Structure 1
Amino acid sequence: VSVLFLKKHFTIIGLACVLSVPAVDAGAEGFAINEWSAEGVAMGGARMFAENDAANIAYNPASITKVRGEAFKQSAVYISPHGKYTAYDATGKSIDEGKNVVHAGWAPGNYYVKQLNDKDWIGVGLFSRFGMISEFERDSKVASNAFFSRLNGASLTPTYARKFDNKWSAAVGAEVNYVGLELQKNAFALGGVPTGL
């Protein structure tokens, strides 16, 4: 069996496997942050193969091999989401609606990449993958679930990447995540009167 034959069929099988994987929305109920650099937001997230961009650690770690020499990036993206809600009873009837105040905030990112030689690169990133502050009116019917939620997150990603040729590179690394969650909710006594918590 020729190498060309195997290469051709391996490529076709690999492409078929990738295309057969169902698309998954990793929005995590709105908690996921994909705004890892201001430049990435301006480019609509198309940073997968960006040249000389240390933020590739967050987007595609194997592509840090496109950094020549050293690269350092600090970035902060201002995120200002808005929301509304409608609550329904067991029969599907609307029983409450209002505004979900999703507080604005900054998503910082710090990235450093160093080229060691023609084949090897190292890098580290410190950025947010998750974060949100959400607040409902305290007297709303949904306040027993949580009228205030704060989710903070930080990811530290030391990375090593190797370039095999002009087309192929791979990366390996670790991701250490910190996640902090605060919830405030009303406790309802018998009869549905909020007692406060």
Structure 2
Amino acid sequence: MTTSRLYKKTLLAVAVSSLTFASQHAAAAGFQLNSQSATGLGRAFAGDAVIADNASVMARNSAAMALFDTNQFSGGVNYIDTDIKITNIEPAIGQQSDVTNSSGTPVPNIYYIHRLNDQWSLGAGIYSNFGTKNNFDDSFGSTSSARAFGGTTEISSINYALSVAYRVNEQWSVGGGLDIVQGSGKLQREAAPGVYALDVDASGIGLGFNLGTVFELNENNRFGLSYHYSPEIEADGTVFVDQGIAGGGLPNGNNAVAGQNIMFSLPSMVEFSGYHKIEDTKFAVHYSLQWIGWSVFDTLETSGGVDLKDYKWKDGYHAAIGGTYYLNDAWTLRAGYMYDTAAQDQLTSISVPDSDRQWFSAGFGYHFKQHHTVDFGFTYLMGQDVSVSEENGPLTLTATTRADAVLAGIQYSYSF
């Protein structure tokens, strides 16, 4: 079994629990990727909607682009190394009762903010909000159980952002933008060797938007609030679904749904952040609270109204707090902690080791040659053991799942 996390934050998020989409994630609950920058990674993204230490802030809050007095460029990559454990599998699949897999993937990002004048700023960015990759290979077993609860799922998504910010006065700034979400996914499940019960290879584009505001109490204290609307995406391509799945039974090879598209909804997000530099010190504290509307991911269905899988996820949140120490003009030190709640509710899956998660983060930045900065971030993400019980027709499977991860990133930023 190979399981890794894909990025380019934002689209299809489907991985499987018998014969559908879900997600084997590594970075955040559900299939969310918190990986917009290595700078934010080093503080568990605490305060990221308002700190504005480089152009990556536009991914969290467009209004914060107004905080810069020069043009800004930033680009980087985070590497996510996952450790997935599935234990106590009953009945054992392919003579295996325990499965462990480690895998890694890079998650790139790039941003540019252009300051038109004292009031207007424009921004463009490419990054990812959602994504996953989950493959159960031949070593996982060739039995009916293995084919029913395992398979191939590959999802990638890219968010193309175009934003504008306007400084209203010395205290208030507002911003907004368009999010073009492009994604593709591949999903295969076999009813028998070489006989597909589910075969999806599709891609699509959805349009979302974001709104934000920043309030500056003074030069050392400010707050940010942002809203990101995520679209429902209709993905077209090769879509074959045996309707036996929709009825909760085994694939029967008859009454197949072909030529339809896959419909799925992505969660919208609301984030509040604060930043406070303690007067006459080199230390600042910052925090964030983000709500994620996972309840929209209720049922996966085709454009013809055929239900493929019930998920019934619940809305979630994450809370983060961090600190920054400005050692001198060249060096900045960061640390942070995040608590991230699971998206799954009553329905669980061996293919979705979802749980509440804790982030332990640290990082630093080095400012050199006046306009250049390199940031490094590191996070240990600790999940929890989750008891899983799922059914597919006459087949029942129970197991214990756990997903931990290590994330490391580097970010280069230039102001001019």
State the TM-score, normalized to the length of structure 1.
0.72
Paired amino acid for 2:50 = F
- Contact 1:48–1:56 under 8 Å retained in 2: yes
Partner SS, residue 190 of structure 2: coil
- 2:68 is aligned with 1:72: no
Partner SS, residue 117 of structure 2: coil
Q: 1:70 to 1:161 in 2, by over 3 A?
A: same
- Contact 2:65–2:113 under 8 Å retained in 1: yes
Which residue pairs with 1:136 in the alignment? 136
1:195: Cα distance to partner? 4.6
Alignment partners' CA distance in 2, 1:34 and 1:74: 16
Which residue pairs with 1:9 in the alignment? none
Deviations 1:52-94 (A, max 9, x none): 4110111211111112210001110001122223587xxxxx3
- Contact 1:100–1:135 under 8 Å retained in 2: no
Corresponding pairs, count = 161
- Contact 1:133–1:149 under 8 Å retained in 2: yes
Q: 1:42 to 1:143 in 2, by over 3 A?
A: farther
Deviations 1:86-108 (A, max 9, x none): 587xxxxx324443646421111
Larger CA Rg, structure 1 vs 2: 1
Partner SS, residue 82 of structure 2: coil
Paired amino acid for 2:64 = S
Alignment partners' CA distance in 2, 1:101 and 1:184: 20
Alignment partners' CA distance in 2, 1:95 and 1:162: 60
Q: 1:179 to 1:101 in 2, by over 3 A?
A: farther
- 2:173 is aligned with 1:169: yes
- Contact 1:38–1:75 under 8 Å retained in 2: yes
- Contact 1:83–1:101 under 8 Å retained in 2: yes
Partner SS, residue 143 of structure 1: helix
Gaps of 5+ in 2: 1-27, 197-416
Gaps of 5+ in 1: 1-26, 89-93, 189-193
Of Structure 1 and Structure 2, the greater strand share is in 2
Of Structure 1 and Structure 2, the greater helix share is in 1
- 2:91 is aligned with 1:95: yes
Which residue pairs with 1:49 in the alignment? 50
State the TM-score, normalized to the length of structure 2.
0.36
Aligned residues with identical type, % of pairs: 23
- Contact 1:153–1:180 under 8 Å retained in 2: yes
Moved over 6 A (4+): none
1:130: Cα distance to partner? 1.7
Deviates more, 1:79-88 or 1:116-125: 79-88
1:114: Cα distance to partner? 1.0
Which residue pairs with 1:178 in the alignment? 182
- Contact 1:161–1:172 under 8 Å retained in 2: yes
- 2:105 is aligned with 1:125: no
Which residue pairs with 1:116 in the alignment? 116
Partner SS, residue 185 of structure 1: strand
CA RMSD, Structure 1 to Structure 2 (Å): 2.4
Q: 1:100 to 1:181 in 2, by over 3 A?
A: farther
